[in-house]
Structure 1
C-alpha cells in the first residue's frame, strides 16, 4: 500500500481526549484483537542545575515526518498490524503531560506489542527531534535520549 507521509507533530502536550478518540475510532474494526499503546510523559528529573519543570521540543520537521513515514512503512511491512498512529509534541510540554504517543492495532497482542515497541525505539533513535529541559528561571539542559 502506498501511503502518504503524515504529520506526526502536535503543538504542546498531547491531550487525553486525542488518546481516547484514537482508541474509540477502532471499535467498529472487528478484525482487531489487540491494541498496544505507548505514552511518553515528561518527568520532574533532578539535575545538578535544578528540577525539570518542562521540556521544550523542537525538530527538523520535514525530515522527521519523512523518517517517521519510513519507520511506519517498515513496521507495516514487518508486522501484521491493521492500524498505526504516531504523535510527538513540539513546543513546551510541562511535567506530567504526555509528549509522545504510539498506538498500534493488530489481530493479536504479540504483533501489536512488538510493532509498538520497535516504533518507539526507532523514533527515539532516528528522528531529528530535540528536547531542551527547562529547570526553572532561565536554566535549561539539552536532553539526551536513553
Structure 2
C-alpha cells in the first residue's frame, strides 16, 4: 500500500447541501480539470410491507472501512487519469430526503471522471463494512439490504 495518508470519509449525520456546494466551488481554480462526475445518495421514503422509511441509521467498522476505502481510492487513481476524488459517507441517522453519500471525481475529460465515479460507488457499496438500519415512521426498524 502507498505512503499516502488514509482519508476519513465519514461525516456524522447527513451531508449538508452547503458542504457539497463548497466542495464543488473549490474546483473553480483548478483549470486542468475539464470534467466532473458527482454521485449523491439520498435516503428514500420506501414503502416496505405497508410501512414507510423515515430515516436510515448508518454504522460502520470504521478502521477497516477506511483502510479498504484507501485501497479502492489508490486502485481508482491507478486505473483512471483523475485530478482529484472526494468521498463522504454518513454515519448516524439520516432522514428521508437527506444526502448520505457524496462522491465527486474530476479529470481533464468527462469519461474518466464518470467511469471512476461509478466504480467508486459500486465498490464502496460492495466492499466496505458499512450498514444501514431502516427506521420506519412507527419507530420499528430493520437492516437494509445494500444494493
Q: Unaligned regions of 5+ residues in structure 1, if any?
A: none
Q: How far does residue 49 in structure 1 lie from its aligned partner after superposition?
A: 5.7
Q: Is the Cα contact below 8 Å between 1:49 and 1:135 reproduced in 2?
A: no
Unaligned 5+ runs, structure 2: none
TM-score of the pair, normalised by structure 2: 0.96
Give the paired residue count: 146
| Aligned residue runs from structure 1 range 7-86, under 5 A | 7-48=8-49, 50-86=51-87
Please say which of residues 45-54 and 56-65 is displaced more in the overlay: 45-54
- For residues 66 and 127 of structure 1, the distance between their equivalents in structure 2, rounded to whole angstroms, comes to 9
Residue 6 of structure 1 is matched in structure 2 by 7
Structure 1 vs Structure 2 CA RMSD: 1.0
SS at match of 1:44: coil
SS of corresponding position for 1:145: coil
Inter-partner Cα distance in structure 2 for 1:90 and 1:137: 22
In the alignment, does 2:129 pair up with 1:137?
no
The normalised TM-score by structure 1 is: 0.97
In the alignment, the residues of structure 2 paired with residue 68 and residue 19 of structure 1 have an alpha-carbon distance, to the nearest angstrom, of 20
Matched residues in 2 for 1:55 and 1:73: separation?
29
